[in-house]
Amino acid sequence: MLRSIIEFFRREAGLSILDLTTDICSSSMYYFYIRGEKNLTPKKVQALKEVLGSDQLTEEEIAQFDHEISALIDEFLG
């Protein structure tokens, strides 16, 4: 698993080994990985952030994803 994460970051983000040692535990980098590697949509990544609570949303993120978050909530709550 770790090898695939490292290869993904090298390929997609152009990170060196030194960068990986400081960034690999970052929740933002984790979401970058799962979005790219697992082909998740931005709204699914956003929902994961909300459910897992590991990132605080900025005002820009809230505005950007507001409609998608609302639609996702409506979809699951029926």
Q: Could you read off the pLDDT tens digit of each residue along the chain, which spans 78 residues?
A: 567 766 777 777 776 665 555 555 566 666 676 677 667 777 777 776 676 555 566 777 767 777 776 676 667 554
Amino acid 53: pLDDT: 59
Separation CA 19–CA 42 (nearest Å):
24
Amino acid 67: pLDDT: 77
Amino acid 29: pLDDT: 67
Same domain, 7 and 22: yes
Give how many domains the chain has, as a whole number.
2
In degrees and rounded to multiples of 5, residue 63 shows phi and psi of -65, -40
Same domain, 56 and 75: yes
Is-contact 46 69, C-beta < 8 A?
Answer: yes
Q: Which domain holds residue 23?
A: 1-40
Same domain, 30 and 46: no
Amino acid 4: pLDDT: 73
